[in-house]
Each structure stands twice: as structure tokens, then as C-alpha cells.
């Protein structure tokens, strides 16, 4: 055993006093780490400390942890101003001070003058020369060899010292079943190290020249661990997928009767991407098991028409279809589009939101419950308790990640295994799609409808606001319309509203000749709808808005967008907002007004949005900037995040995916063991 820390000494003393080790508190502490003792072999070090050699005191470098072998000169309790223990030590080359703010009397005894110590800590240049604050130390009796291996440092929790944790890990390593779940052939195929030796190397690295060499030596072991973690994720997602597929659903075959009618009446023809996505969806719907598909397409790629076609296919078989959107504005836009497309075909569309009057709502609910209306559009009001569908066959959710977790659960429970389509304009980088979304089939709209002009993005400092206002005037003078997006104030909705109102007042004073409107989240839904309507009809030329306009809003005549305090917005938000312009034939511009000082990440974000228009590329860089945890947002609830694997290694994700196929097909028992080892009860959630 290497050095012991004061905390270790203390806990040993306390434990010795009790008649037996207090295993229940130990279990509780491990639980705080999300672990049971048996899982400790997979609890891997964060880093390592090098106690295999001694640094001469004179060679101490401030801020660089090292081990020293010294003799105690003197040790005293001082008040500076707090009570503390200060111990002066030295070797042949120089002197050091050890400083302890918390200490026990017996520790003071251990540090008696003349005692020889091994001390590990991070030197800091203090007023009295180099000092180590709360170093780990142990007293040397006679000649003791240096440890041959580096010392692992684990993630831990209060009250669980590194020394204790190290001993526990070693104990469990000796007892655990670390049999490889990977058949030899797979291990060879993906050039993977064996599991047990990998774990041993990570917990107790072999002797190496230094920490730099260590990275290289441990690389194969880490690769194996990351692979295993990704494999567990792939396996459990596949299992969930298979379980859902095993359930039945009414097949909704494609007769083409209604869908062909719609396609004939459209003022445009589908893009190649839309046609492909539509074919994939049509084939899924014809199956006797539930569709679980994600339709992914950048803002403006034309997802709505694909949704409408799917709804028609359900209606063609006499089944109902519901389309839900997370906001009233968006739901209303969907409703208008669908009604315009479908009502000429003799298909009424029901419309349901929380803001309908009670009597209207009851009437809509009645039509839905009787099956008189096959198609319904709305907000989450559609999944409220009092709404029952006569024969719901398909539910479509737009921008699902914007719904709350509870609403999504309600959505799942609403109907017995209907076909489900989710739509998202948040492009999911390939590695994320392969991992966190591996339980969904995915259709991608990777092509924008023709005739779009790319949006020109400009970064403008706040000081040049007057120029920007002049641009607004000029754009409106040419008959164009403008969005002015107010700063996001995350801490306070009230404050955000206040800012929006102020901006609105300002702009009306600055541009008295223009018709200006204001829309924000606190307006009543019918007020919001009235403002949006006026904007759509060009009765409002400049729309001052909060982020309520972020998704879905479609006003082709708007060709200029100003985003104030752009540095406060996230990348996907900026991309979504910018997607509101560039929808018509006019050259469109998005001006990002920013205020200094810019944080390093804010600067990075602005650079990315300035340099890129492709949503996938922006998402990829966003993922690199933020990591997957934040990226996948609420989908992560209940879904274990990867502890060791990084999604930037797409080759490894790919390998894990291929291995999952082989394992499930040829070694199902090993697959089950592998999931158990890594995911405990988590796979239950995935089946839900
Ligand atoms: P999003 O994918 O962002 O939801 P929408 O469905 O709102 O995109 O479509 C954006 C705009 O493009 C709409 O005005 C829509 O009518 C139009 N559109 C969709 N598909 C085509 C197409 N193939 N050709 C021309 N315009 C299209
Ligand atoms: Mg949309």
C-alpha cells in the first residue's frame, strides 16, 4: 500500500473502534456513486498519481504534484489566523512546509521531529517558501521500497477516501466474474484487448517511465472499455426495438387513393428526399407492427407535407391520425396548411388547443370520439384525458424534444401501439443517431426545396445598432418584412418580456412610419394567433418577437432577421431562428447583434453560426462544443449517459453496432450478460 492520507488514517481509527466494519454506510456511500460493490471493477480511475519515485525538494515545481522523502524538523500548532498544524520538513536539497487545517492529535504525534516521511502533494509557493497543503503522508519505518505501480485516483464521494476505495476495488477485482462476453472471433475482428487484463491495467497500471507514457500504454485497455460500453448501449437499444416490433398494430396499407389526390393538387412537386422519406413511411405503415420512425430534416426542408401524406394513408384505411406540435403558433400553422391541402379533398381537419372555448373544445372532442373526423391537429391538448379517439392509427409529433417528459409519456399511453412518427429539425449528428437514437428508424430530408436563396449572416457589434435600424427601414421600403428577435433572458421570463416590450417601444419610435407588432409567450393564444396572422398578411412589417417564433413559423416574405444579444443563444436556437428567413425568393439576411465582452464559448458559437449554414455541420460542431449530455436534452432522462465512451469516435460506435448484430444473432446469452454487466436496470426503461 502506498501513502495513506489523513482521512484514511482517521477512518481507520474510527472503524477500529466499532466492533465490525459498517458495511451499510459503505453501501450507502457507494450508492451515492451510483454503484454497488460488485460493480466496482467497472468504476475506473479518473487519473493516476506517480508515487513510484521521489522528487528532491529542490526540484519541486509549483502546481505539479510530486512525492518527497523528508525528515521532520519541527511541528507546531499555529494561529494564522485559524488554528492549523504547520510542520517543517527537509531533505538533503531543501525545505518544505506541510500545512493542515484539520487534524487529529495522533497525527500531530506522527509528525514528531526526526520522523521520516513520504509525502505526496502539490507544492505551492507560499510566503514562507514552498508548502504542501493537506498532503498525503506516511511515516517510514526502516527501508521501504517504492511502489512499482502508479496510484489510481477514483471518482468518489464525501467520506469515502481514495485509500478505502482502492482497497475495495482490489477486493472486488479479485472476486468478480470478469469473464469476457465477447467471443474470441469478435475480439480479433475489431482488434480489441481482453477484458480482464484491460481492467487490471486500468486499476493498476504497469510500471512506466511517467504519466505521458501511461496514456499510450493504457490506450488499448480504454478502447476495450469504451467499446464494451457502446456495445451495451447498442444491445439494449436493439432489444427495445425488437420488443416494440413484436407488438401488433393495425396495418395501414397504401392504396394511393387519397395521397395521389393530394400530390396532384399541390402547387409544387416533392423533392427527391421527400419522396424517399414518404416511401419509407408508407412501407412502415403497411406493416402489422408499430412504426417507430424519426423524420429528420433541417428547417424548411418540407416535413409538413410528408406528415400530411402519412395522415392521409391512415385515413384511407379508415383510421384516425393526429399531428401534435409543442406550441400554439406552430400547431396553428400546421392546421392552416393541412386544412388548405386536405379540406379540398373532402377531409375535414379537427383543431384542438388549450385556448379553445369550452364549447368548441367539447364539439371537437365529440367529433374525434365519434370518429366523424379522421384528422386532428393540435397541441398537447390532444392527449388530455377527456380526449378519446375512436380509432387512432397514427400519431405524429413535431419537435418532440420540446414537449415535457410527462406529455410524451401520456402520448405513448394514449393509444395501444399506434404507428408513430416524430419529426425534428434538430439535425442529429451521425454518431448520436447511431447510439442514442438506434432504437428508431430514421428518414432524412437532406435536400431543401428548390428556389431557396441562402441566408447571408452578418455579425454586428451592438454599437452599430443605428445602421441596423436603417436596414430594417430599407427592407420594409422594398416591401419585405422583418423579424426582430429579442434577447433571451434565461433567468427570468418577466425580465425577458420587459425587454421585448422596451425593444418594441424603441423600434416604434425609431421607425414610426412602419407597422410594428409584438409577439411573446405571455400573450393569450388567440392574441398570439392574431399577431401572427397580421404578419402573414403583411399588415405587420416588423415583428418584434421572443423565441416563440423559433420553430416552424413560415412567412416567405420575411427576408431580414435581427437577433439581439445573439451571444446568449445556443447554436441550435440560432440556427432555428435563422431558418425563419430565406424562405422566399428574395435575398435574405440574418444580422447577429452581439455585445461585448464575449465569453470564449459565445465567441466560438458565433463563429460556427457565421461560417456554417448546414444544420448537420452546425449540430456536429455543437456536439463537440457541448458534449452529448446537453445535446440530447430531455431524451436522456432515464437513459444512462455514456461514462467512458466518447461519441466523436464514430469508428468505435460503428464497430459496437456491428458486434451487437453478431452477438444478438449468434450469442444471445452473452448479449444478455453484457447488458446486465453494464446497464443494470436501465434497459427496462428503454422498453417502455
Ligand atoms: P419544415 O421541414 O421546416 O417543417 P415546412 O414543411 O414548413 O418545412 O416547409 C417549408 C416551406 O416549403 C413551406 O412553405 C412548404 O409549403 C414548402 N415546400 C415544402 N416542400 C416543397 C417542395 N417540394 N417544393 C417547394 N416548396 C416546398
Ligand atoms: Mg415544421
Hey, where are the domains in the chain? 10-175, 257-445, 455-612
Question: Residue 64 C-alpha to ligand 2 middle, in angstroms?
Answer: 54
- Counting from 1 in the atom list of ligand 1, the atom nearest the Cα of 305 is 6
What does the pLDDT read at residue 550? 60
Nearest-angstrom CA–CA distance, 140 and 601: 49
* pLDDT per position as a tens digit, 54-71: 999 999 988 888 999 999
Question: Residue 296 C-alpha to ligand 2 middle, in angstroms?
Answer: 10
Question: Residue 532 C-alpha to ligand 2 middle, in angstroms?
Answer: 16
User: What mean pLDDT comes out for the span 120-132?
Assistant: 83
Hey, which of 302, 323, 421, 558 would you mutate to test ligand 1's pocket, going by the most ligand atoms within 8 Å of its Cβ?
302
Hey, which of 263, 270, 295, 304 would you mutate to test ligand 1's pocket, going by the most ligand atoms within 8 Å of its Cβ?
304
* pLDDT per position as a tens digit, 302-321: 999 999 999 999 999 999 99
What kind and span of H or E run contains 220?
Answer: helix 211-246
Hey, which of 301, 327, 449 would you mutate to test ligand 1's pocket, going by the most ligand atoms within 8 Å of its Cβ?
449
Question: Residue 303 C-alpha to ligand 1 middle, in angstroms?
Answer: 7
pLDDT higher than 60, residue 576: yes
- Counting from 1 in the atom list of ligand 1, the atom nearest the Cα of 274 is 23
Smallest-distance ligand from the CA of 299: 1
Smallest-distance ligand from the CA of 295: 1
- Counting from 1 in the atom list of ligand 1, the atom nearest the Cα of 333 is 7
Architecture in CATH for domain 257-445: 3-Layer(aba) Sandwich (3.40)
What does the pLDDT read at residue 686? 40
Q: Which of 677, 674, 683 lies closest to 181 in space, CA to CA?
A: 674
* pLDDT per position as a tens digit, 68-91: 999 999 999 988 778 899 999 999
Residue nearest to atom 18 of ligand 1 (CA): 302
Nearest-angstrom CA–CA distance, 83 and 85: 7
Among 391-400, 424-433, 570-579, 677-686, which is the least confidently predicted range?
677-686
Residue nearest to atom 26 of ligand 1 (CA): 449
Question: Residue 462 C-alpha to ligand 2 middle, in angstroms?
Answer: 31
Q: Give residues (CB < 6 A) around ligand 1.
A: 268, 270-271, 274, 297, 299-305, 425, 449, 552, 554
Question: Residue 593 C-alpha to ligand 2 middle, in angstroms?
Answer: 26
Question: Residue 272 C-alpha to ligand 1 middle, in angstroms?
Answer: 13
Burial annotation 107-123 (CB, 10 A radius, 16+ → b, else e): beebbeeebebbbbbeb
Residue nearest to atom 4 of ligand 1 (CA): 303
Question: Residue 60 C-alpha to ligand 1 middle, in angstroms?
Answer: 66
Question: Residue 322 C-alpha to ligand 1 middle, in angstroms?
Answer: 20
The DSSP annotation for 103-136 comes to --HHHHHHT-TT-EEEEEE-EEEETTEEEEES-E
Question: Residue 263 C-alpha to ligand 1 middle, in angstroms?
Answer: 14
Q: Is the CB of residue 518 less than 8 Å from the CB of residue 505?
A: no
CA 466-470-474 angle, to 5 degrees, is: 170
What does the pLDDT read at residue 22? 53
Res. 408 pLDDT band, cuts 50 70 90 = low
Question: Residue 563 C-alpha to ligand 2 middle, in angstroms?
Answer: 21
* pLDDT per position as a tens digit, 330-346: 888 899 889 999 988 88
* pLDDT per position as a tens digit, 639-683: 456 788 877 777 898 899 899 999 999 999 999 999 988 876 444
Q: Which residue has the higher pLDDT, 199 or 102?
A: 199
Q: What is the CATH number of domain 10-175?
A: 2.40.50.140
pLDDT higher than 60, residue 415: no
What does the pLDDT read at residue 638? 39
pLDDT higher than 70, residue 552: no
Helices (H), 327-461: 328-342, 358-370, 405-414, 430-435
Question: Residue 205 C-alpha to ligand 1 middle, in angstroms?
Answer: 57
What does the pLDDT read at residue 433? 72
pLDDT higher than 60, residue 3: no
Neighbours of 541 (CB within 10 A): 24
Kindly report the average pLDDT of the chain as a whole number: 85
Res. 636 pLDDT band, cuts 50 70 90 = very low
Same fold, 257-445 and 455-612: yes
Smallest-distance ligand from the CA of 296: 1
Q: Which set of grid coordinates corresponds to residue 680?
A: 443494470
Burial annotation 398-422 (CB, 10 A radius, 16+ → b, else e): bbbebbeeebbebbeebbeebbbbb
- Counting from 1 in the atom list of ligand 1, the atom nearest the Cα of 307 is 6
User: What mean pLDDT comes out for the span 614-637?
Assistant: 66
Could you identify the residue written with the cell 393509444?
415
Q: Which set of grid coordinates corresponds to residue 609?
A: 453560426
Which pTM does this prediction carry? 0.69
Residue 191: DSSP 8-state = T
- Counting from 1 in the atom list of ligand 1, the atom nearest the Cα of 306 is 6
Hey, which of 297, 298, 300, 400 would you mutate to test ligand 1's pocket, going by the most ligand atoms within 8 Å of its Cβ?
300
Could you identify the residue written with the cell 460503428?
654
Residue nearest to atom 12 of ligand 1 (CA): 302
Neighbours of 682 (CB within 10 A): 15
Residue nearest to atom 20 of ligand 1 (CA): 302
Considering all CA atoms of the chain, what is the largest pairwise distance in Å, rounded to the nearest integer? 99
What does the pLDDT read at residue 148? 83
Residue nearest to atom 5 of ligand 1 (CA): 302
CA 637-641-642 angle, to 5 degrees, is: 170
Q: What is the CATH number of domain 455-612?
A: 3.40.50.300
- Counting from 1 in the atom list of ligand 1, the atom nearest the Cα of 303 is 2
Amino acid at each position: 500500500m502506498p501513502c495513506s492520507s489523513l482521512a484514511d488514517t482517521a477512518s481507520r481509527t474510527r472503524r477500529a473502534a466499532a466492533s465490525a466494519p459498517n458495511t451499510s454506510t459503505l453501501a450507502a456511500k457507494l450508492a451515492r456513486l451510483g454503484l454497488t460493490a460488485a460493480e466496482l471493477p467497472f468504476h475506473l480511475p479518473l487519473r493516476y498519481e506517480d508515487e513510484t519515485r521521489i522528487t528532491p525538494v529542490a526540484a519541486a515545481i509549483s502546481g505539479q504534484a510530486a512525492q518527497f522523502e523528508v525528515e521532520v524538523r519541527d511541528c507546531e500548532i499555529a494561529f494564522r489566523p485559524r488554528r492549523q498544524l504547520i510542520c517543517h520538513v527537509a531533505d538533503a536539497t531543501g525545505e518544505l512546509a506541510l500545512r493542515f487545517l484539520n487534524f487529529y492529535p495522533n497525527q500531530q504525534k506522527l509528525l514528531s521531529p526526526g520522523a521520516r516521511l513520504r509525502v505526496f502533494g502539490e507544492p505551492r509557493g507560499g510566503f514562507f517558501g514552498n508548502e504542501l497543503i493537506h498532503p498525503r503522508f506516511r511515516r517510514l519505518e526502516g527501508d521501504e521500497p517504492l511502489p512499482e505501480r502508479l496510484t489510481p485516483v477514483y471518482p468518489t464521494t464525501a467520506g469515502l477516501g481514495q485509500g478505502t476505495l482502492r482497497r475495495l476495488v482490489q477486493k472486488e477485482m479479485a472476486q468478480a466474474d470478469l469473464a469476457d462476453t465477447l467471443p474470441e472471433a469478435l475480439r480479433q475482428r475489431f482488434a480489441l484487448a481482453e477484458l480482464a487484463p484491460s481492467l487490471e491495467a486500468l486499476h493498476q497500471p504497469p510500471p512506466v517511465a511517467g504519466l505521458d507514457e501511461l496514456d499510450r500504454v493504457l490506450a488499448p485497455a480504454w478502447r476495450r472499455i469504451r467499446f464494451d460500453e457502446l456495445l451495451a448501449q447498442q444491445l439494449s437499444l436493439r432489444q427495445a426495438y425488437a420488443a416494440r416490433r413484436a407488438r401488433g398494430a393495425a396495418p395501414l396499407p397504401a392504396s394511393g387513393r387519397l395521397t395521389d389526390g393530394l400530390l396532384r393538387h399541390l402547387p409544387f412537386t416533392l423533392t427527391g428526399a421527400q419522396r424517399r422519406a414518404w416511401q419509407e413511411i408508407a412501407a412502415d405503415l403497411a406493416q402489422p407492427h408499430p412504426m417507430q420512425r424519426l423524420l429528420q430534416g433541417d428547417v424548411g426542408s418540407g416535413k409538413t407535407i410528408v406528415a400530411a401524406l402519412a395522415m392521409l394513408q391512415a385515413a384511407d384505411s379508415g383510421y384516425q391520425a393526429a399531428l401534435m406540435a409543442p406550441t400554439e403558433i406552430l400547431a396553428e400553422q400546421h392546421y392552416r396548411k393541412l386544412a388548405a391541402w386536405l379540406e379540398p379533398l373532402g377531409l375535414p381537419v379537427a383543431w384542438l388547443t388549450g385556448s379553445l372555448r369550452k364549447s368548441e373544445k367539447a364539439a371537437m372532442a365529440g367529433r374525434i370520439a365519434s370518429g366523424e373526423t379522421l384528422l386532428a391537429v393540435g397541441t398537447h391538448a390532444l392527449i388530455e384525458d377527456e380526449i378519446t379517439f375512436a380509432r387512432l392509427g397514427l400519431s405524429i409529433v413535431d419537435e418532440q424534444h420540446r414537449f415535457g417528459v410527462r406529455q410524451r409519456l401520456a402520448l405513448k399511453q394514449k393509444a395501444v401501439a399506434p404507428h408513430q412518427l416524430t419529426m425534428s429539425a434538430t439535425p442529429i449528428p451521425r454518431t448520436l443517431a447511431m447510439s442514442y437514437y438506434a432504437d428508431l428508424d430514421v428518414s432524412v430530408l437532406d435536400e431543401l426545396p428548390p428556389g431557396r436563396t441562402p441566408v447571408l449572416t452578418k455579425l454586428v457589434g451592438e454599437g452599430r445598432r443605428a445602421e441596423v435600424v436603417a436596414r430594417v427601414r430599407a427592407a420594409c421600403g422594398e416591401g419585405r418584412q422583418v423579424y426582430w428577435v429579442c434577447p433571451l433572458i434565461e433567468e427570468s421570463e418577466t425580465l425577458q418580456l420587459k425587454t421585448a416590450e422596451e425593444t418594441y417601444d424603441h423600434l416604434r419610435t425609431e421607425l414610426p412610419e412602419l407597422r410594428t407588432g409584438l409577439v411573446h409567450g405571455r400573450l393569450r393564444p388567440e392574441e398570439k394567433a392574431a399577431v401572427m396572422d397580421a404578419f402573414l398578411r403583411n399588415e405587420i412589417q416588423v415583428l418584434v418577437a421572443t423565441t416563440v417564433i423559433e420553430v416552424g413559423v413560415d412567412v416567405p416574405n420575411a427576408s431580414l432577421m435581427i437577433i439581439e444579444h445573439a451571444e446568449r443563444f445556443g447554436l441550435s436556437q440560432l440556427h432555428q431562428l435563422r431558418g425563419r428567413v430565406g424562405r422566399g425568393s428574395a435575398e435574405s439576411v440574418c444580422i447577429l447583434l452581439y455585445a461585448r465582452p464575449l465569453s470564449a464559448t459565445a465567441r466560438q458559437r458565433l463563429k460556427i453560426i457565421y461560417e456554417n449554414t448546414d444544420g448537420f455541420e452546425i449540430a456536429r460542431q455543437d456536439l463537440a462544443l457541448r458534449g452529448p449530455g446537453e445535446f440530447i436534452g430531455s431524451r436522456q432522462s432515464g437513459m444512462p449517459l455514456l461514462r467512458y465512451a466518447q461519441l466523436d469516435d464514430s469508428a468505435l460506435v460503428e464497430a459496437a453496432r456491428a458486434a451487437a448484430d453478431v452477438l444478438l444473432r449468434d450469442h444471445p446469452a452473452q448479449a444478455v450478460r453484457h447488458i446486465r454487466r453494464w446497464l443494470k436496470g436501465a434497459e427496462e426503461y428503454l422498453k417502455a
